[in-house]
Amino acid sequence: MGSTERIKNVAKRVAKWHDAGHQMVVVPSAMSGETNRLLGLAKEIMPQPDPRELDMLASTGEQVSVALLAMALQSLGKQAVSYAGWQVPIKTDSAFTKARIQSIDDERVRRDLDAGNVVIITGFQGMDPEGNITTLGRGGSDTSAVAVAAALKAKECLIYTDVDGVYTTDPRVVTDARRLKTVTFEEMLEMASLGSKVLQIRSVEFAGNYRMPTRVLSSLTDPLMPLDEEARSGTLISFEEDTNMEQATITGIAFSRDEAKITVIGVPDRPGIAYQILGPVADANIEVDMIIQNQSTDGKTDFTFTVPRGEYTKAMDVLERSVREHIGAARIVGDTKVSKVSVVGVGMRSHVGIASQMFRTLSEENVNIQMISTSEIKISVLIDEKYMELAVRALHKAFGLESA
């Protein structure tokens, strides 16, 4: 949706699917750079804009996109109608700038589809119980698309992005990264949560919760490419592991540059201390990821956790007010120059030695590990940000993920 020419290409692609007999609901994002432009205007007015007004402003970008796409389809002789999220309606909670979808009324959309219309719905937004416009957070159009597909019980949800699928890691960091034909829901969920920017994590959660087959494919291909070829391209998020062959041990290497580490030093070691530290952080709507509590010494302990780098200042302010006043910690220190690197794969369940291989590889590259977090299908480490790309390339090679 980067320009009017690109919008015309989107219309050609949609028309091709519609001509083949498919009922089409399209959820576009704002035009390229538009959301950043709008948020920049808000920051010029005031440093910390009111979240409700931010949503009112940011939601207009998608409204422009849906109207232009409807016009582009109409110019091709297609019946098309556009709706804002509140017109459907897509109902959300009232967490402005980070709202969550609660329900979607599909009656109006189904009526239009039955009449032969292509329906175009704004992504990224909805309406709270008081009738306020809300937005779902950056990348929220993916979430809107999967949620609408689930509500309509669609055959498949196609997510068109600027990449042609999900790769073993970011090709901009590792040039011989390999595109995956399929990836399990669990792996995609981990990769999205660990920093992969291909899909917003909530869109993957929706896909998993409603078992909605979702395919990631490129918006840069010829819009008139054969339908069968397009339908098989990209990466399909599957919900069953391939039982015909042994699952590869590691599927991909994920990473996140936008991490920050906070340590609360000299905390009294008593029951409930973790809640007393993290409760106020959660109340401030700040996500916490990796957590470590050191062994107690003389009744005191250190408590370390990570937050998104953009939330670091806010988290430190919350801790200064709550922890130091009510808990009596010695001091609070932080580091914004850290990154997270993770190995992901459902095959880890049946293979031993993954962690030791990961740690040995990083040791050979003289990369120091600051924190470790594990689950059944992933191992994450926190490292100095200047070693992140080195670590990703080394691990990608160590686990044999290069292009065939």
Which pLDDT value is given to residue 270? Answer: 86
- Which pLDDT band, with edges at 50, 70 and 90, does 248 fall under? low
What confidence tens digit (pLDDT) does each residue in 262-276 have?
A: 999 988 888 888 899
Section 5-24 average pLDDT: 96
pLDDT the model gives residue 351: 82
The pLDDT of residue 318: 92
What angle (nearest 5°) sits at the alpha carbon of residue 238, between those of residues 106 and 340?
100
E strand residue ranges, 269-344: 291-293, 300-308, 331-344
**Segment among 157-171, 193-207, 354-368 with least mean pLDDT:** 193-207
Q: What is the mean pLDDT of residues 109-116?
A: 97
| Mean pLDDT computed over 114-122 | 98
Report the pLDDT value the prediction gives residue 243, as an integer from 0 to 100: 45
Residue 257 to residues 47, 252, 289, 290, 384: CA-CA distances in angstroms? 24, 17, 14, 14, 10
Query: For a pLDDT cut of 90, what percent of the chain falls above it?
Result: 74
Q: Which residues, including other chains, have CB under 8 Å from residue 287's CB and lie 6 or more apart?
A: 307, 308, 311
In 59-164, alpha helices (H): 60-75, 107-114, 140-151
Q: How confident is the model at residue 199 (pLDDT cuts 50, 70, 90)?
A: confident
Instruction: Please determine, for residue 161, whether its predicted confidence score (pLDDT) is greater than 50.
Output: yes
Q: Which residue has the higher pLDDT, 197 or 184?
A: 184
pLDDT the model gives residue 247 = 54
pLDDT of residue 195: 64
Q: Please check whether residue 374 is in contact with residue 380, taking contact to mean a CB–CB distance below 8 angstroms.
A: yes
**What pLDDT was estimated at residue 162?**
83
Q: What is the DSSP letter of 347?
A: G
**pLDDT the model gives residue 244:** 44
| Domain spans, the chain | 1-155, 252-398
C-alpha to C-alpha distance for 140 and 125, rounded to whole angstroms: 7
pLDDT, tens digit, for every residue of 30-51? 998 999 999 999 999 999 999 9
Check pLDDT > 60 for residue 290: yes
Helix extents (H) in 46-134: 51-58, 60-75, 107-114
* CATH class of domain segment(s) 1-155: alpha beta
Token pair for 35: 């959301």
Same fold, 1-155 and 252-398: no
> What pLDDT shows up at residue 158?
96
pLDDT at 65 over 50: yes
Q: Which helix (H) or strand (E) holds 216?
A: strand 214-218
User: Has residue 242 got a pLDDT over 80?
Assistant: no
Assign 245 a pLDDT band (cuts: 50, 70, 90).
very low
Least trusted range by pLDDT, from 169-183, 190-204, 259-273: 190-204
Overall size of the chain counted in residues: 404
| pLDDT greater than 60 at residue 246 | no
Q: Report, at the CATH architecture level, how domain 252-398 is classified.
A: 2-Layer Sandwich (3.30)
Dig out the tokens for 86 from the structure: 């509140």
Beta-ladder partners of 172: none
The pLDDT mean for the chain works out to 91
Confidence of residue 321 (pLDDT cuts 50, 70, 90): confident
Output 375 or 314, whichever has higher pLDDT: 314
Question: For position 240, what pLDDT does the model report?
Answer: 66
**High-pLDDT (> 70) share of the chain, %:** 96
Q: Is 70 exceeded by the pLDDT of residue 127?
A: yes
User: What is the pLDDT averaged over residues 198-224?
Assistant: 90
